[in-house]
Amino acid sequence: MKDKYDNLKFYQKLWDAGLSQNLPKSFDLDSYYDAGVIRKDDLVDGAYYQGDCRNSSVALWDANGNCFWYMRSKFSDAYKEKINHIADDNGYDLFMPFQKLDDVDVDDNYKIGA
């Protein structure tokens, strides 16, 4: 599985478009989509995605919950945590998915409930 730092072209596109993690709420989502972020309508329920947020580079899409889930490690504990897609900005950290992963490519440490 690729690490988020292997995707320098993706981040270069975001940088070239003048995008950053600290954008105002009125930022242009189309710029993110043009740079490779997958739209919510194109996500597959129950699939893992490589992407980016503050605490993980892999998350599971839950269509019924309209959110991603990822395994968060903190102080030697691991627990699942919910996070919104970049299109659903709620003022907290957001997940930007840019590649669907096959189950065999997902390390057990990232799997929900593994």
Other CB atoms closer than 10 Å to residue 79's CB: what's the count?
8
Residue 34's pLDDT band (cuts 50, 70, 90): confident
What pLDDT does residue 79 have? 77
Check whether 101 has a pLDDT greater than 80.
yes
* CA–CA separation, 93 and 41 (whole Å): 20
The pTM for the full model equals: 0.74
Per-chain mean pLDDT for the chain: 79
Print the domain residue range for 46.
4-20+27-110
- Provide the H-helix boundaries in the chain: 8-16, 29-34
Count: domains in the chain: 1
Query: Mean per-residue pLDDT for 82-88?
Result: 94
Q: Bridge partners of 51?
A: 97
Please list, residue by residue across 41-67, b when 16 or more beta carbons sit within 10 angstroms of its beta carbon and e when fewer do: eebeeebbbbbbbeebbbbbbeeeeeb
Query: Mean per-residue pLDDT for 81-102?
Result: 91
